[in-house]
């Protein structure tokens, strides 16, 4: 019969130490690999959020609150038909941040980096929200991964570049025509040559612009004109001359204002039909009478111009004019003789029975 092996104290101590080491290693492993920095026992609660697009989010992804990891995603599943969004996400969060997650908070899908894993970002939102209790729902809106948007924008940009390159290759547009069409290229070349000739002529002081660039006299004249304008503006600023008085004399300004007001009143009276001008503007009868008078005057002047009537003959018949002139001279002589010797022409004979 074999003898029993006795367990010595040293062997027992070694076994206890190894067991404790294994437990410590297991605890450290669990601590390091625990999700979302959640405590071992208790100190956590569960909330839900409904999103339109989780963009590849998986269970175990971290949950950040204002950039700080506060929990993890427990489950990602499709929601029921009555849910506000097609995807239901279950979140496990630390209890110590429960007051920061309210009805004003918003859950969005994000990324840890350009090529990093997906995460859920909880924005605290404005103050005054009601705290989300255990098994509550946090408002969610899948804004999408920023990298996904960048890739989409880059894809659209590359498509635009390809379309532009195709248009250039086909000779479409101004740049495409410049690359493909010989006539456009020749016209552009001719334009460049003409511009070069213009710059050469400017460099040789030819033409008005060339003289303006190279002739000192033109510069001096422009400088003198500028100085004169400065002097004129200074005089006006000092109130000299008619324009200066117009700018600075308050009485003249008030006079102009009064004249303007009077003109405004006159035009208002004319517009309302007051006075002769107002009646002329407003009354059709007065206008018709003036029009008829103008027509009569035009008719009379036409008859006079044709020599009709006495006045017309007087204007055109020289003999009649001479006779009238002679008669007027004789009458003037008779009146003069009567004044000199009234008795010669005025004799009164009185007889008595």
**Residues 148-187 pLDDT 10s:** 555 556 666 777 788 777 777 776 777 776 666 677 767 7
- How many other C-beta atoms are found inside a 10 Å radius of the C-beta of residue 324? 12
Can you tell me the distance from the alpha carbon of 350 to that of 203, in angstroms, rounded to the nearest whole number? Answer: 118
88 pLDDT tier (thresholds 50, 70, 90): very high
Return the residue matching tokens 């959020």. 49
Q: Is the pLDDT of residue 205 over 70?
A: no
The predicted pLDDT at position 193 comes to 83
The vertex-59 CA angle with 58 and 62, nearest 5°, equals 90
The predicted pLDDT at position 46 comes to 93
- Average pLDDT for 32-41: 53
Are the beta carbons of 245 and 236 closer than 8 angstroms? no
The predicted pLDDT at position 115 comes to 60
Average pLDDT in the chain: 77
Give the distance between the most distant pair of CA atoms in the chain.
227
The predicted pLDDT at position 42 comes to 56
Can you tell me the distance from the alpha carbon of 44 to that of 40, in angstroms, rounded to the nearest whole number? Answer: 9
Can you tell me the distance from the alpha carbon of 148 to that of 154, in angstroms, rounded to the nearest whole number? Answer: 10
Q: Is the dihedral of CA 23, 28, 29, 33 positive or negative?
A: positive
Q: In whole angstroms, how far apart are CA 100 and each of 26, 136, 353?
A: 33, 14, 156
Here the tokens at position 222 are 């422009």
The predicted pLDDT at position 133 comes to 92
Are the beta carbons of 282 and 275 closer than 8 angstroms? no
Average the pLDDT over each of 110-124, 318-332, 338-352 and give the range with the smallest value: 338-352
pLDDT digits (tens, 9 = 90+) for 250-269: 777 778 888 888 888 888 88
Here the tokens at position 266 are 């006159």
User: Does residue 58 or residue 22 have the better pLDDT?
Assistant: 58
User: Does residue 115 or residue 81 have the better pLDDT?
Assistant: 81
Are the beta carbons of 207 and 201 closer than 8 angstroms? yes
Q: Is the pLDDT of residue 222 over 70?
A: yes
Return the residue matching tokens 């204007």. 315
Q: Which of these, 142, 32, 151, 146, lies nearest to 76 by C-alpha position? A: 142
Residue ranges of the alpha helices (H) in 173-249?
173-180, 182-203, 207-214, 216-237, 241-248
Are the beta carbons of 90 and 75 closer than 8 angstroms? yes
Q: Which of these, 40, 138, 119, 105, lies nearest to 73 by C-alpha position? A: 119
The predicted pLDDT at position 278 comes to 74
276 pLDDT tier (thresholds 50, 70, 90): confident
Please state the pTM of the whole predicted model.
0.36
The predicted pLDDT at position 235 comes to 81
pLDDT digits (tens, 9 = 90+) for 278-332: 777 776 777 777 778 888 888 888 887 777 777 777 677 777 777 777 888 888 8
């Amino acid at each position: 019969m074999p003898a029993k092996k006795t367990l010595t104290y040293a062997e027992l101590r070694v076994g206890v130490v190894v067991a404790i080491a294994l437990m410590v290693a297991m605890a450290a492993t669990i601590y390091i690999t625990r999700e979302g920095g959640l405590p071992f026992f208790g100190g956590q609660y569960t909330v839900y959020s409904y999103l339109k697009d989780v963009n590849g989010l998986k269970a175990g992804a971290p949950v950040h609150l204002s950039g700080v990891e506060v929990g993890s995603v427990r489950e990602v599943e499709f929601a029921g038909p009555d849910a506000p969004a097609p995807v239901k996400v279950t979140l496990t969060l630390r209890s110590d941040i429960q007051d920061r997650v309210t009805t004003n908070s918003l859950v969005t899908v994000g990324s840890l980096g350009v090529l990093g894993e997906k995460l859920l970002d909880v924005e605290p939102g404005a103050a005054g929200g009601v705290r989300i209790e255990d098994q509550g729902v946090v408002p969610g809106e899948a804004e999408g991964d920023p990298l996904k948007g960048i890739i989409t924008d880059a894809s659209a940009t590359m498509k635009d570049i390809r379309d532009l390159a195709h248009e250039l290759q086909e000779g479409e547009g101004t740049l495409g025509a410049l690359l493909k069409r010989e006539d456009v290229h020749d016209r552009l070349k001719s334009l460049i040559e003409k511009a070069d000739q213009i710059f050469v002529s400017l460099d040789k002081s030819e033409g008005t612009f060339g003289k303006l660039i190279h002739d000192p006299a033109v510069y001096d004249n422009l400088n003198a004109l500028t100085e004169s304008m400065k002097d004129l503006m200074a005089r006006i600023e000092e109130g000299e001359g008619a324009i200066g008085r117009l700018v600075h004399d308050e009485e003249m300004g008030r006079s102009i204002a009064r004249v303007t007001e009077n003109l405004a009143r006159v035009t208002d009276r004319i517009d309302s039909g007051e006075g002769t001008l107002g009646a002329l503007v407003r009354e059709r009868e007065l206008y018709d009478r003036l029009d008829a008078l103008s027509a009569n005057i035009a008719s009379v002047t036409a008859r006079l111009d044709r020599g009709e009537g006495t006045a017309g003959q007087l204007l055109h018949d020289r003999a009649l004019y001479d006779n009238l002139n002679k008669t007027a001279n004789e009458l003037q002589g008779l009146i003069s003789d009567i004044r000199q010797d009234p008795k010669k022409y005025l004799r009164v004979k009185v007889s008595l029975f």
